[in-house]
Amino acid sequence: MPHSSRRPGKPYHPKRVISETEDGWSRVEHTAPTRYGSKPVVGSSLPAVDRSLTVQKLLDEHTRCKRQWVESEARRWLQQLLTRQMAEGGWSLNKAVCVALGSPSLSWANRLRSVWQLVMFMDLVDMDADELKLYAQEPRFTSLDKDFLESLGVAVLEPPQAEELADESTLIFIPCLEWLLELPFMLVAEKSQLYVSSSMHWVIDEAERFRNRLAADSKSDTPVLKQCDSAMAAAKAILDTHQENKMPEADFADGHSLALTIYTLKHSDED
Ligand SMILES: C[S@@+](CC[C@H](N)C(=O)[O-])C[C@H]1O[C@@H](n2cnc3c(N)ncnc32)[C@H](O)[C@@H]1O
């Protein structure tokens, strides 16, 4: 993964099975290809639900974070960017999907970062003049998370519903997902107007590194090699067709890094 709130010294080292570490970071040790790429293996040792939380407490946290977010420089930057980059006649979006939010209610180090990311996702949607239907997909959502999201008007999807739903009219918001799992979304994002993700440069680097390792192994898995090539090609296509806008750091966010990259489709008069 390209970043975390605690800024780990180095990213994970992909091997072949995608497994989840307790803090939500993915580790690839062996792939299990599906129609939509590689299926995540969610570890059995998830942290417990924070029993002190209720839907109301999560809503209060959401309100507190939102209050800080709307006053922030990062939010002003985002608003100005979207106004500047908006296609003539506005964005033609009809839904917004948040993928890989993490769980706001599990007792893990980045619980609050999920709340912050949700605030950003919902605010980004509010910046669009159209009424967008909101969705979120995260295999770690607890029933409390689902009730919390539904109380905010966000419909919860089960994998791979988000992969099936996402199309060119979708605002796709992915605050950190293992790159092989991001592939189906990147393929759609090549043509979509607004794509929020970590970094396509990071995807290219990781996919290339993984590919080189596989290629050096005589028993290497050809479908996975192909997935590496597809991920590199899709990330490059997004860089070609979109403006890349790196969000400034928002260090006020309870110590969490919220920096994401906003990819806006180039207008026909732009290179
Ligand atoms: C590195 S964590 C990021 C969590 C949070 N957004 C953050 O920045 O701290 C990656 C998340 O992707 C989730 N994930 C794995 N496969 C997924 C899928 N197919 N759809 C949605 N989320 C998925 C994992 O459960 C995990 O919470």
**178-182 mean pLDDT:** 96
pLDDT of 209-230, one tens digit each?
Answer: 999 988 888 777 788 899 999 9
Q: Is residue 8 part of a domain?
A: no
Q: Is residue 246 part of a domain?
A: yes
> What's the CA angle centered on 82, arms 76 and 86, to 5 degrees?
155
Going by C-beta distance under 8 Å and a sequence separation of 6 or more, which residues neighbour residue 205?
none
Q: Taking all residues of the chain, what is their mean pLDDT, rounded to a whole number? A: 85
pLDDT of 139-161, one tens digit each?
Answer: 999 999 999 999 999 999 999 99
Looking at residue 20, its pLDDT comes to 55
Give the pLDDT band of residue 1 (cuts 50, 70, 90).
low
Q: Is residue 10 part of a domain?
A: no
Residue 46 domain boundaries: 18-265
Burial category of 219 from C-beta neighbours within 10 Å (exposed 0-12, middle 13-18, buried 19 and up): exposed
Q: Is residue 27 part of a domain?
A: yes
> Residue 202's domain is classified under what CATH number?
3.40.50
From start to end of the chain, where are the E strands?
A: 18-20, 26-28, 33-34, 37-38, 95-99, 133-137, 154-157, 170-173, 194-197, 242-246, 261-265
- Complete DSSP assignment for 79-127: HHHHHHHPPTT-----EEEEE----SSBSSTTHHHHHHHHHHHHHHHHT
Indicate whether 255 pLDDT > 90.
Answer: no
8-state DSSP, 13? -
Give the pLDDT band of residue 40 (cuts 50, 70, 90).
very low
Q: Is residue 55 part of a domain?
A: yes
Q: Is residue 4 part of a domain?
A: no
Give the pLDDT band of residue 118 (cuts 50, 70, 90).
very high
141, 159 Cβ separation under 8 angstroms: no
Give the pLDDT band of residue 45 (cuts 50, 70, 90).
confident
Indicate whether 99 pLDDT > 60.
Answer: yes
Nearest ligand 1 atom to the CA of 160 is 19
**Residue that wins the pLDDT comparison between 41 and 142:** 142
- Pocket test residue of 146, 163, 176, 185 for ligand 1, highest count of atoms within 8 A of CB: 176
pLDDT of 7-33, one tens digit each?
Answer: 333 333 333 344 555 555 544 444 433
Count of domains in the chain? 1
Q: Is residue 82 part of a domain?
A: yes
Whole-Å CA distances, 170 to 14, 83, 130, 162, 258: 29, 18, 12, 10, 21
Looking at residue 160, its pLDDT comes to 98
Going by C-beta distance under 8 Å and a sequence separation of 6 or more, which residues neighbour residue 42?
20, 139, 140
Closest residue by Cα to atom 27, ligand 1, is 102
- Pocket test residue of 114, 138, 182, 186 for ligand 1, highest count of atoms within 8 A of CB: 138
Whole-angstrom Cα distance, residue 12 to residue 15? 9
Q: Is residue 5 part of a domain?
A: no
- Of the candidate ranges 44-58, 95-109, 143-157, 186-200, the one whose mean pLDDT is the lowest: 44-58
Looking at residue 31, its pLDDT comes to 43
206, 18 Cβ separation under 8 angstroms: no
